Amino acid sequence: MYSGIRDINAKTNLTYYLSPEHKISGGADYLYQTLYPASLSGKIPPTDSASGIIAADIPPKTAGRLAVYASDEMKFGRRWQLYLGLRAPFYFKPGVHYFNIEPRLSLLYAIDPTTSVKISYTNVHQYIHLVQSYNSSFPAEIWIGSSNNVRPQASNEVTAGVYKNFSENIFQTSLEVYYRRLQNQLLFGGGTTPAIDNNIESELIFGKGWSYGAELFVRKNRGRWTGWLSYSFAYAWQHFDSLNLGKTFPFAYDRRNMLDISASYAISKHWSIAANLFVASGRAFSLESDTIIVSPGDNPLYNNRGRGRALGRGRNQDSTTSFGITADNYRLSPYNRLDLSVHYKKSRTVGRRVLETEWIFSVYNVYARQNSSFVYRTINPATRQVVAKEVPFIPVIPSITYTLKF
């Protein structure tokens, strides 16, 4: 299956400084977008197979979006900084149009030269939708545009954070918390395999979502050793009246824990080495109740007791009764990966220009971790029962990159 987007964009921006402490910006952008929602193809299945893939198509869809925007940034003394912004997008295609007003606001207070706190509010709309199937047997993701039946997604987000630098700004740290409300969320509804055709909107169900969490960031900016540590603890939920008995369930890309550690060491003026470690909880997916639940120890997919709980928010729920609920009631195995790279940089002056070259030799997923991409259901030939299998994706990948800047 193929689903894609092609954008042609033109944008202009003007910035005017009333004073060093007062900056006004504004502009407009125009987007002409072509969506290729879905194209299916497949090999002819064996004669003894009871199922196969039928070639199908949804014709490309085009739309335009024109937006004007303005912002005002002001500093009051040495401690206060205010940002006010407003964006007005207009989305249109034959027979369809949407106009929205999107305010943005942030307020920063500097406690001292190295410490500050900030709160902000943002309202945004998105006119394209990545529609997902909640069934593991059909892990589809298809791009579709807004229409008379499919309203634009809307998000309202509030964030607050504290920021602190140490050792003459060598170390930069921050701790942020956020809460986000989402409207007009979409999923495939109905049967196990949605019909991928030009009437796809009849297969959709509509709901809402929200997410919240905290993010910790630590960065070293100077010295032979540089790098950062980023950790997030987050929840993401969705609610559809016509799905999961009307109970709240985790969003497909809900990852409770994510840890990203990156480090770089300068061996000499030209040579450096870098490493990046990424660890995350497995994303949520749905598993039908007729699938064999492998006992703990036989399959890492089910080692964690309680992974199958999907009723409500997992509070006071009995795991023995929740397997009949088929909305993101399981998680893939935890994800982890280590990448290594070696960099060689050199610069030289040619005439009045400075040419910079860089070679990067890198290895993605050094220890060949079999991280799962999705789960599919199949028949055990011995027992003739439905079982679930994780599918790993992307093994070790070496690469060479050459960059020239002038």
pLDDT digits (tens, 9 = 90+) for 267-284: 999 999 999 999 999 888
- What is the mean pLDDT of the segment spanning 124-128? 96
pLDDT at 289 (0 to 100): 63
User: Please, are residues 234 and 205 in contact by the beta-carbon 8 Å criterion?
Assistant: no
85-89, 187-191, 198-202, 304-308: which is most confident: 85-89
Q: What mean pLDDT, rounded, does the chain reach?
A: 84
User: Rounded CA gap, 330 and 323, in Å?
Assistant: 9
pLDDT at 116 (0 to 100): 97
pLDDT at 81 (0 to 100): 97
pLDDT at 297 (0 to 100): 36
User: Looking at the DSSP assignment, which residues form a beta bridge with residue 396?
Assistant: none
Least trusted range by pLDDT, from 306-320, 324-338, 389-403? 306-320
Least trusted range by pLDDT, from 98-107, 217-226, 392-401? 392-401
pLDDT at 382 (0 to 100): 85
Q: Give residue 293's pLDDT band: very low, low, confident or very high (50, 70, 90).
A: very low
- Among 363, 325, 373, 359, CA closest to 341: 363
- What is the mean pLDDT of the segment spanning 190-198? 61
Tell me: pLDDT of 142 over 90: no
Record the pTM. 0.81
pLDDT at 396 (0 to 100): 94
Which of the two residues, 139 and 4, has the higher pLDDT score?
Answer: 4
Distances (CA, A) of 326 to 287, 308, 309, 329, 378: 6, 10, 10, 6, 17
- What is the mean pLDDT of the segment spanning 388-403? 88
pLDDT at 73 (0 to 100): 97
Which of the two residues, 82 and 283, has the higher pLDDT score?
Answer: 82
Tell me: pLDDT of 211 over 70: yes
The 3-state secondary structure of the chain reads CEEEEEEEEEEEEEEEEEECCEEEEEEEEEEEEEEEEEEECCCCCCCCCCCCCCCEEECCEEEEEEEEEEEEEEEECCCEEEEEEEEEEEEEECCEEEECCEEEEEEEEEEECCEEEEEEEEEEEECEEEEEECCCCCCCEEEEECCCCCCCEEEEEEEEEEEEEECCCCEEEEEEEEEEEEEEEEEECCCCCCCCCCCHHHHEEEEEEEEEEEEEEEEECCCCEEEEEEEEEEEEEEECCCCHHHCCEECCCCCCEEEEEEEEEECCCCEEEEEEEEEECCCEECCCCCCCCCCCCCCHHHCCCCCCCCCCCCCCCCCCCCCCCCCCCEECCCEEEEEEEEEEEEEEEECCEEEEEEEEEEEECCCCCCCEEEEEEEECCCCCCEEEEEEECCCCEEEEEEEEEC
Tens of pLDDT, residues 229-260:
999 999 999 999 888 888 888 888 888 999 99
User: Rounded CA gap, 41 and 56, in Å?
Assistant: 7
pLDDT at 14 (0 to 100): 97
Tell me: pLDDT of 50 over 80: no
pLDDT at 270 (0 to 100): 95
CA torsion 308-389-40-240 (nearest 10°) is: 0
- What is the mean pLDDT of the segment spanning 284-292? 69
User: Rounded CA gap, 139 and 375, in Å?
Assistant: 8
pLDDT at 132 (0 to 100): 73
Q: Hey, where are the domains in the chain? A: 67-84+101-145+154-189+203-405
- What is the mean pLDDT of the segment spanning 140-151? 87
- What is the mean pLDDT of the segment spanning 302-314? 39
Tell me: pLDDT of 160 over 80: yes
pLDDT at 138 (0 to 100): 52
Tell me: pLDDT of 143 over 50: yes
| Residue 153 half-sphere exposure toward CB, CA atoms < 13 A | 19
Q: Give residue 133's pLDDT band: very low, low, confident or very high (50, 70, 90).
A: low
